[in-house]
Structure 1
Amino acid sequence: MCGISAIFALQDGAENRSGQTPHDQLAAPGNNHSREQLEQQMQASLKQIKHRGPDHSGVWISEDSKAVLGHSRLAINDLSSSGNQPFHSPDGSVHAVVNGELYDFEELKRNLLDTTGYHFTSNSDSEVVVALYQAYGRDFVQHLRGEFAICLYDESNDLFIAARDRYGIKPLFWTVSKQRLLVGAEIKAFIPLDWQAEWDVKSIIEAGWNFDDRTLFKGVKKVRPGYYLTCDSFGTIKHHQYWDMEFPEKTVPDPRSEQELIQSVRDRLVEAVRIRLRADVPVGVYLSGGIDSSVIAGIVTHLVKEQSLTMGSLPPTDRVSCFSVAFEKSSGFDESDVAERSSEFLGVKQYKQIMDEEAFASRFEEATWHCEHHVPDLNYIGKFALSELPQKHGFKVVLTGEGADETMTGYGVYLPDVVREPDLTWPGAMPEDERKRVFATSEEQTKEYYRSIGAEFRMSEGQRKLNNISTLASMAAFIPDVFDPSTAALHAQDPQNVIANDVSSPVLEKMQEKWHPINTALYVWTKGHLPNQFMSALGDRTEMAHSIEGRTPFLDHHLTEYVNTIPPSLKMRWKGGDEFTSKWILREACKEFVTPEIYERAKHPYSAPTSYETDGPLHKLLGTLITEENVRQLGFVSWDVASTLLERAFVQKEALAARLAFVVAQWVVLARRFGIKTAKI
């Protein structure tokens, strides 16, 4: 994993052709900087994201000064200087910087050597990108397996390409500023590049930053997962989808047996884990009390003990190292004792990060700066602190369990959509009268849950578009009621409609006519929450803040494409009465790798406490952030509401008020660190 930054000069008026609003004025041509100025700007940009790659920084500038590529390296494969980036083709026409990990790269290199005779200069996985591009053109992304963000410049065709992996595991942002296309692994990389941060208030109110390609910042967008962006010599910016999720038709019975499906999931997951153990540095595992990380730890231990595989560069005799976070026992959120029992069962080494209230408070601002967006749960600070552990013990790579809930149907909020319609792909899985009864009960329980936390459960136009799924309400449930009345002038959409409107017409047709409702729910959740919040705040951003590369076997597309074909009834399985087993297919496939306790254990979402002491470390910290001056400086938050949050959160112990207080405080931190002026509505 690394940090990347890129500049591509645009011709006059290109901002309008790209669909961007030229919010910071039309200026001189994008390439009016001297080479020395470009070098200085890019080095400053890389310094902003040095945490992503502290081992080396490299800059390439085209002869005409039109294209600049920058790279901050975290050396994982080929630790020598030959693995430093940018990479260049033998003929000097193609240049690339790569952030991420590409698996099966050795096989790809062998095939390219046989078919094209490409001359490789390193043993780095990233160099294969340039060779693939020269062999297949823009279709090179189809051949990549792993998590990645790429910037590539084809000098002979004056073509710039920015690509992102299928699930958005690696971040990639872009904006147009002063007639230059800027692309970076993190938004903070734009600060030294003549870019001024502004709030995108409408995106914040609509939660567009969490559901579509927007961010919290005006004019800054994401390259979508499974897409690549192109910019040609005329400055026309286009977006191209190269991959999407697919599901079977809901009326066609599945001919496969349970055992075949179980074995196939096991084989694909074991393979996904195996290829992620390859590294020239030590590899560890994040281990919680849940089944997802426990399965990964179990498979890794199996491969090390039974097949003599190594954890990256560690000796074969070394025990597997696992890293866990522990909250205070009294919080009700601690699962460290379960993780300890798994560690004992597997015979692995376990390192633990203890999180008390002082630990949360001391990391609040820095963790928020790295995430670059708000999070209504302090779990991101727990993950931020957890990632200090492997760095402290000399590890650069960890395997993680993220993505299993989104592919294997792990969240309890999915239940109403699992039973919304009969599963005709697996006839007889549940009697029809029982399905109807459970659906009515689960739908009402879901509504009652949202009422209890102060969220509104309502039928919306967006919900009707998406085959009436109730998971939509879960995704849009947290709508901070803290906005200033003046924001009504923005005519913000209902977040549920934002989610639905972001789905393409061909996919909407499949949702309405062909897919089971739970597959619709999995699709929108995986396109929204997963890359925009979970893989950010609980993945890349909090890991890479400490130069830690997280690898996610559950999001290997060879595995997920198979899992998507499995009948809904085998992912969340009915046990009888009102009882269901989430991720049933995963539990059966990996039963041998985990303790009986983990196999039987119900899903416990990874969450941090919301109740903290009056006048404790967090209360005092938020008191310095949520002040009238700071809140009014934001320009879009009501001080009348914000002024009540600390009392409600820390004295009256209102969980919703605590989450709102966290969010407002995070906006204040981001405003300070990015130098954001007061929003103008």
Structure 2
Amino acid sequence: MCGIAGFWSRSRAWGKEDLTAEAYKMGRQIKHRGPDSDGVWGDETSGLAFSHQRLAIMDLSPLGHQPMVSSCERFVICYNGEVYNAGDLRQQLPRERQNVRGHSDTEIILECFAEWSVEKTVPKMIGMFAFSLWDRKEKVLWLVRDRLGIKPLYWSLSSNNTFLFGSEITSLEVHRDFDEEVNFSSVSGFMRFNYVPGPDTIFENVYKLMPGCMLRIGQTDSDPEISAYWSVSGVYENGLANPFSGTDAGALIKLEELITDSVERRMISDVPLGAFLSGGVDSSCVSAVMQKLSGRSVKTFSIGFTEEGYNEAVFAKSVASHLGTDHTEFYVSEQDLLSVVPKIPSMFDEPFSDSSQIPTYIVSGLARSNVTVALSGDGGDELFAGYDRYGYAESIRGRINKVPYPLRKMISCAAQMLSEDRWDQISQGLPTSRLPKNFGHKVHKFSRLLTMGQDDLYCSLISHWETDGIIPHAGRKDTVDRAYGNVSDLIKDPTTRMQMIDLVNYLPGDILTKVDRVSMAVGLEARVPLLDHRIVEFAAALPANMKIRDGQSKWLLKQLLYKYVPRHMVDRPKMGFGVPIGRWIRGPLKEWAEDLLSPEMFTRHALLAPGPILKKWEEHKEGKANWEYLLWDVLMLHAWAEGRSK
């Protein structure tokens, strides 16, 4: 794994030395992504430069050094990721192009671009990747990101016509032409979903290249041209038109073939590798297939907690023992966890507040002390309908739809005529044993659900803050509607639509961002075999009853796991990879939280209106309500802003 950065100054002349120095400065901002070596390449006649930070995984020799020039010298690449079928692609090339100097995938895909073109090569690639490619003949710059968004890639076209790009926004920020202005629509999106939904970022005029997309920009283009070579909606539309029509047994055989091939490809490495093992379905399945393919005990890693309700280490240890892996577990103290909190803002170049970032960072560090590559089970919940919230949303929808819409609308309007505070006052006369906490808040939230369509209802259920009243800059349209509108109208099944919403937004925006940033922070490459696009395409064609059957989620994936691990070891209620944030900010982190929630902090950064937030903070401190996730959003936003101001 690596970090890439660069720029194309299309209206300013640069000297060779200044050009490469500016690119080198950008690259050094992300040295943690590639601590093994670095390199720069520049073309002063075009005003373009690439910077690369290398984490050496394949071909550890200098022959794998980047930026790299193709043998015909037409293309220059700066590349982050792994293409797992590079060997297959090499065999498809003409014999004269197969004679590459080393054995890195970088050399091979460069020759593929030279032979077939960028547009024809990228759809052939299996893997995770984000790269920039300069076509010296056509004077065209390409940016390309993998299908699911496993690897990040940001870009910006500045006011003076400089095109900037990099693996993290921090690379762009140090360039002299970077335009820095906070995007308050993105603040709103962050407060709703605990990450900034793409393609926007926390800054105006800085964008994420979305998963499955390629960007092309030429010397005279006023704006880049962005096209999708693969999309979740397209995959599910194809699955609807060409559904899997085989038997349960046939589906199980096909799934095992796909996962086995995907895992085997991701076990190719010139450095030690292992796997994260939580003892849940997804990581256990990946670890089981790894062990089947390996000639020796696979290294697996898990962390445990003494806090009741958070510890999965005992389950991981049981699965590891059954599979025969070389298992390492580490029981984390509260102080270990708390010590990570101050480091978080420096790991994420945008505000990010999924609190599982803390244990994920610790287990990544544990793995990195033993291996350089670790396979994870991410993606199983999105592909095979594993999240509990799918069933919860379906249950709510079923109850709501029993009431005629006109009556629902009337009830909704009536409920919202009174403020949340007024509902809380009314509730004081009701029996407390029958009354939920945050009564007024729940009345208002339920009243909004009554009139929502199915997509809006699901997005509301997974939202944190309703941002009206907390974003002080009015007149900015919330970008959430645009971000959550990328789901095909042809797909009608509610659970499938929820899976698609998560694959398009939550998976790249939250899960994959978290895994990328914390693993890169410790110099670890994380690979995600369940997100091989061939498995995604297979899952999209499966009938609903192969995902959820008799109330059991991830039905087909579990049938595969049962071939390797006894049911009793993995059949249990789903646990999140969480930490007791609510208790911490009332206790050992209270002073830190008080500082970030002080009136001075709200005034200094002017990102949020303090009134509704401080009300929830008082309720949380007094134990009247548990607002841990909403408050963590505010704390991470202010911690990010503080980190940038220093």
Q: What is the letter of the counterpart of residue 112 of structure 2? A: L
- Aligned with 2:129: secondary structure? strand
Aligned residues: 605
1:205 to 163, 166, 188: 188
* Residue 144 of structure 2 is aligned to residue 163 of structure 1: yes
* Residue 338 of structure 2 is aligned to residue 361 of structure 1: yes
CA distance in 1, matches of 2:591, 2:306: 19
- The offset of 1:204, in angstroms, is 1.8
Alpha-carbon contact 2:13-2:44 (below 8 Å) kept: no
Q: What is the letter of the counterpart of residue 62 of structure 1? A: D
1:310-325 correspondence to structure 2 within 5 Å: 317=296, 319-325=297-303
* Residue 249 of structure 2 is aligned to residue 259 of structure 1: yes
- Aligned with 1:597: secondary structure? helix
- Aligned with 1:211: secondary structure? coil
2:498 to 521, 527, 533: 521
Residues 459 and 484 (structure 1), Cα distance of their counterparts in 2 relative to 1, 3 Å cut: closer
CA distance in 2, matches of 1:585, 1:557: 18
- The offset of 1:374, in angstroms, is 3.3
Match of 2:8 in 1: 8
* Unaligned 5+ runs, structure 1: 11-28, 309-316, 422-435, 575-579, 677-681
Alpha-carbon contact 2:74-2:114 (below 8 Å) kept: no
Match of 1:665 in 2: 635
1:19-168 correspondence to structure 2 within 5 Å: 29=11, 31-114=12-95, 117-139=97-119, 140-168=121-149
Residues 672 and 42 (structure 1), Cα distance of their counterparts in 2 relative to 1, 3 Å cut: farther
Match of 2:325 in 1: 348
Q: Write out per-residue CA displacement over residues 299-357 of structure 1, whole angstroms, 9 at most, x where no aligned residue.
A: 111212xxx3xxxxxxxx4x221111223333x12211111111221222222343343
Match of 2:278 in 1: 288
TM-score normalised per structure 1? 0.82
- The offset of 1:487, in angstroms, is 2.6
* Residue 500 of structure 2 is aligned to residue 533 of structure 1: no
Match of 2:458 in 1: 471
CA distance in 2, matches of 1:344, 1:542: 27
1:615-654 correspondence to structure 2 within 5 Å: 616-652=587-623, 654=625
- The offset of 1:404, in angstroms, is 0.6
- The offset of 1:626, in angstroms, is 2.6
- The offset of 1:146, in angstroms, is 0.5
Q: Write out per-residue CA displacement over residues 558-589 of structure 1, whole angstroms, 9 at most, x where no aligned residue.
A: 11111111101110112xxxxx1110000012
Alpha-carbon contact 2:3-2:53 (below 8 Å) kept: yes
Residues 483 and 98 (structure 1), Cα distance of their counterparts in 2 relative to 1, 3 Å cut: farther
Q: CA RMSD in A?
A: 3.0
Q: Write out per-residue CA displacement over residues 26-46 of structure 1, whole angstroms, 9 at most, x where no aligned residue.
A: xxx3x3332222222221211
- Aligned with 1:486: secondary structure? coil
Residues 663 and 206 (structure 1), Cα distance of their counterparts in 2 relative to 1, 3 Å cut: closer
Q: Identical aligned pairs, as a percentage? A: 25
Alpha-carbon contact 2:14-2:44 (below 8 Å) kept: no
Q: What is the letter of the counterpart of residue 306 of structure 2? A: E
1:279-678 correspondence to structure 2 within 5 Å: 279-304=269-294, 308=295, 317=296, 319-330=297-308, 332-393=309-370, 395-415=371-391, 456-457=445-446, 464=453, 470-475=457-462, 477-479=463-465, 484=470, 486-492=472-478, 495=480, 497-503=481-487, 507-508=488-489, 510-511=490-491, 515-537=492-514, 539-574=515-550, 580-613=551-584, 616-652=587-623, 654-656=625-627, 658-675=628-645
TM-score normalised per structure 2? 0.87
CA distance in 2, matches of 1:299, 1:353: 23
Of 36-45 and 400-409, deviating more is 36-45
1:181-260 correspondence to structure 2 within 5 Å: 181-194=163-176, 195-207=178-190, 210-235=196-221, 236-245=223-232, 246-247=235-236, 255-260=245-250
- Aligned with 2:142: secondary structure? strand
- The offset of 1:641, in angstroms, is 3.6
Of 89-98 and 342-351, deviating more is 342-351
Alpha-carbon contact 1:469-1:517 (below 8 Å) kept: no
CA distance in 1, matches of 2:437, 2:501: 20
Q: What is the letter of the counterpart of residue 97 of structure 1? A: C
Q: What is the letter of the counterpart of residue 266 of structure 2? A: R
- Aligned with 1:6: secondary structure? strand
Alpha-carbon contact 1:417-1:517 (below 8 Å) kept: no
- Aligned with 1:623: secondary structure? helix
